[in-house]
C-alpha cells in the first residue's frame, strides 16, 4: 500500500550565487580550445595511457621488409596521403560542407548542469550561437561565454516561437559558417522535435549531429527513487506525451493498450501531462486500470525546486493540484512506484 505524500527537495547548503535566474546551481568547468578546436580540460594527477605507437610502427616496418627502398618510400607516401585524407574528412565534418557551420542538436538533460554529457559541454563551450527552449534550465546557459549569442526560442505563450521559424534560424546561421547549438531539455529526439529539425537540415544540405541527453523520462523517476523496471515489479516501460486529450477522435494513443501495459505489470511514463493529467488518469481507469494503482509525479527533477508527489491513479491529479505542481513534470504509473517508500529514507540529494 502506497501512502499519499509530497516531498520537496532540501534547500541546498552551499551558496549558488543566484546567477541570472537562480533556479539551479552549477557552472561549466573552466576550459579552453586548442588550435584544432578541441576542448582542453585541466586534469591534474592523471597519468597518460601507455603509447602503442612503437607497436604500430613495428607492424608497419615488418610488413614492408620485402619491399625495395623505392617501394618502402612509396608505401610511406601512400600512408601519409591516407592520413591527410582522413584529417581532411574529419575537418570537413567538424567545419561543415560548402562553408556551412555544423548544427548540433544537443540534449541538455533534466536540468542540472552536472548531468550534461561531456560532448554537450564541448559543443556549448565552442558555439557561436545557442538556440534554447523553455524546458532548458537557466543554469545550463547562464555561464556561457560573453562571445556566445544566446537566443530563447521556447514555445510557451505568450512568446511562442513557431517551429518553421526555428528551422529557418538554424539553417541561416549555419550558412554563415557559424557553429550552431540547438539546445533542448532532456533528449532532443524524445518529444523534442529533433527528428523534424534533422529532416529540415538535411533537406537544406546543412551538416548536423545529434548529441543525446539524459531524458527526464529516465532521470525524474531515478532521482525520485522510482526505478522504471524492477525484476519483482515491471519488465516493460512505455513513454507517452500527455498533451493529447484522451477522447480526441484521431488520437495517436491507444488507451486500451496503455491500460493493458499497466495491468500486466508494466510502467507508464507520462511527459508534458500536467495540464491534462486528470483526463489521462480518468482514461486509464475507464479502461480498467484499478484506481489504487500506485502513481507519482516528479516536478522539475534535479532543479532546486524539485518536488515529488506520491499517490494513486485515482488521487494523483487532485494531490498534484493541492501541491501546486507545475510543468515541467513527469508522472509515473505502475507498481514500481511502491519501491520509493522502502528506499526513500536513505535517499540523498
* List of domains in the chain: 97-214 (3.40.1010.10), 217-346 (3.30.950.10)
Q: How many residues does the chain have?
A: 349
pLDDT of residue 270: 98
pLDDT of residue 302: 94
CA 278 to chain centroid, in Å, comes to 27
pLDDT of residue 223: 95
- pLDDT tens-place string over residues 214-251: 999 999 999 999 999 999 999 999 999 998 888 877 78
pLDDT lower than 50: segments of the chain: 11-26, 31-65, 84, 86-94
pLDDT of residue 68: 53
- Positions annotated as catalytic residues are 133, 155, 272
Distances (CA, A) of 97 to 89, 91, 131, 198, 205: 10, 10, 21, 16, 8
Pairwise CA distance, residues 135 & 220, whole Å: 14
Q: What are φ and ψ of residue 284, in 5° steps?
A: -65, -45
Pairwise CA distance, residues 202 & 190, whole Å: 19
The answer to whether the CB of 170 falls within 8 A of the CB of 112 is no
Pairwise CA distance, residues 218 & 31, whole Å: 29
pLDDT of residue 247: 80
Amino acid at each position: 500500500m502506497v501512502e499519499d505524500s509530497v516531498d520537496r527537495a532540501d534547500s541546498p547548503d552551499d551558496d549558488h550565487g543566484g546567477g541570472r535566474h537562480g533556479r539551479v546551481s552549477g557552472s561549466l568547468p573552466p576550459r579552453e580550445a586548442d588550435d584544432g578546436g578541441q576542448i582542453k580540460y585541466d586534469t591534474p594527477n592523471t597519468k597518460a595511457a601507455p603509447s602503442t605507437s612503437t607497436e604500430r610502427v613495428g607492424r608497419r616496418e615488418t610488413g614492408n621488409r620485402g619491399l625495395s627502398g623505392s617501394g618502402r618510400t612509396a608505401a610511406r607516401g601512400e600512408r601519409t596521403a591516407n592520413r591527410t585524407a582522413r584529417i581532411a574528412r574529419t575537418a570537413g565534418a567538424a567545419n561543415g560542407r560548402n562553408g556551412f557551420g555544423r548544427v548540433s542538436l544537443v540534449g541538455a538533460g533534466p536540468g542540472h548542469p552536472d548531468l550534461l554529457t561531456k560532448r554537450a559541454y564541448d559543443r556549448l563551450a565552442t558555439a557561436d550561437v545557442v538556440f534554447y527552449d523553455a524546458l532548458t534550465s537557466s543554469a545550463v546557459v547562464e555561464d556561457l561565454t560573453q562571445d556566445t549569442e544566446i537566443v530563447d526560442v521556447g514555445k510557451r505563450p505568450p512568446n511562442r516561437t513557431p517551429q518553421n521559424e526555428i528551422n529557418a534560424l538554424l539553417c541561416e546561421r549555419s550558412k554563415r559558417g557559424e557553429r550552431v547549438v540547438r539546445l533542448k531539455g532532456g533528449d532532443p529526439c524524445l518529444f523534442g522535435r529533433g527528428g523534424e529539425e534533422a529532416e529540415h537540415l538535411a533537406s537544406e544540405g546543412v551538416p548536423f549531429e545529434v548529441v543525446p541527453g539524459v531524458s527526464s523520462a529516465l532521470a525524474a523517476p531515478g532521482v525520485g527513487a522510482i526505478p522504471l523496471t524492477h525484476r519483482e515489479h515491471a519488465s516493460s516501460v512505455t513513454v507517452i506525451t500527455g498533451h493529447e486529450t484522451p477522447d480526441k477522435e484521431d488520437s495517436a494513443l491507444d488507451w486500451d493498450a496503455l491500460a493493458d501495459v499497466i495491468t500486466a505489470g508494466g510502467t507508464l511514463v507520462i511527459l508534458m501531462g500536467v495540464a491534462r493529467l486528470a483526463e489521462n488518469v480518468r482514461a486509464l481507469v475507464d479502461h480498467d486500470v484499478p484506481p489504487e494503482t500506485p502513481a507519482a509525479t516528479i516536478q522539475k527533477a534535479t532543479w532546486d525546486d524539485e518536488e515529488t508527489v506520491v499517490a494513486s491513479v485515482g488521487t494523483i491529479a487532485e494531490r498534484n493540484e493541492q501541491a501546486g505542481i507545475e510543468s515541467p513534470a513527469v508522472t509515473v504509473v505502475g507498481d514500481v512506484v511502491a519501491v520509493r517508500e522502502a528506499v526513500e529514507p536513505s535517499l540523498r540529494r
